Structure 1
């Protein structure tokens, strides 16, 4: 590589290699993006097939909330606490709730999501 011509040939070869690499890289990126979108769509279809619409609650509804803190001796305790009254709908299936009966176990005011709630079994049909 002592001659000027040899250096020019070397630079041309190097430029050709760079260009070839850039083309294959862009093509590989495009293929990878297509593959990712295909897998995401398949995952979305599989997930949505088993998913049901969340229960919507409105202010004033009586609900039970799932116990989220566990410890020793909790095996025989109820899995849900309540009754709680929905005080505010905060969006995205989130709710502010307040305990109806202060003599029962659980926090007085809390926020929870609909997947940790269920309707309180009302014996008297209002």
Structure 2
């Protein structure tokens, strides 16, 4: 999504901003014709075995014969596996092991909303009580002493509630 948003920002000015949906086909076309680092091909080449931009160039230079693009699917699959394994290895090297919280355990939640006075605002809010454990290190929380509403948070946003709040 970040790539699409950045492309739209480059194409549109403030007056055209409300017409972003009209610029989407151009952004899609540009993305489909951009060579991918992992595969070495543009997505349109892999989907249709044809390069639209090459066709336009061939029309300009009609006296030059260009062979159609042949993609070795086996080599491409191997190349993608190598890129995937490299990315996974890098991710696993930097990822901290998850700390499993338990139901009824007191926790605090990291503040993720940006607002004025951010430097002096507390980094964590709480205490919350864990009401349920969800898949993929997610938890259902209820604020202690608050309304009877629940919220969902990821393990990476939570810390154990310290007995001394100054420890946060």
Q: TM-score range by the shorter chain?
A: 0.5 to 0.7
Instruction: Give CA-to-partner distance per residue, 1:65-99, whole Å, 9 cap, x none.
Output: 01121211232110100111101112211111111
User: Which is strand-richer, 1 or 2?
Assistant: 1
Unaligned 5+ runs, structure 2? 1-67
SS in 1 for 2:141: strand
Superposition pairs for residues 62-73 of structure 1, below 5 Å? 62-73=106-117
Partner residue in 2 for 1:42: 86
For residues 103 and 97 of structure 2, what CA distance do their matches in structure 1 show?
19
Q: TM-score, normalised by structure 2?
A: 0.52
Structure 1 spans left out of the alignment, 5+ residues: 1-20
Question: Does 2:98 correspond to 1:54?
Answer: yes
Per the normalisation by structure 1, the TM-score is: 0.67
RCO comparison, higher one (Cα < 8 Å, 6+) = 1
Aligned residues: 97
For the pair shown, which has the larger CA radius of gyration, 1 or 2? 1
Which contiguous aligned blocks of 4+ residues in structure 1 show a shift greater than 2 angstroms?
Answer: none
Aligned match of 1:120: 161
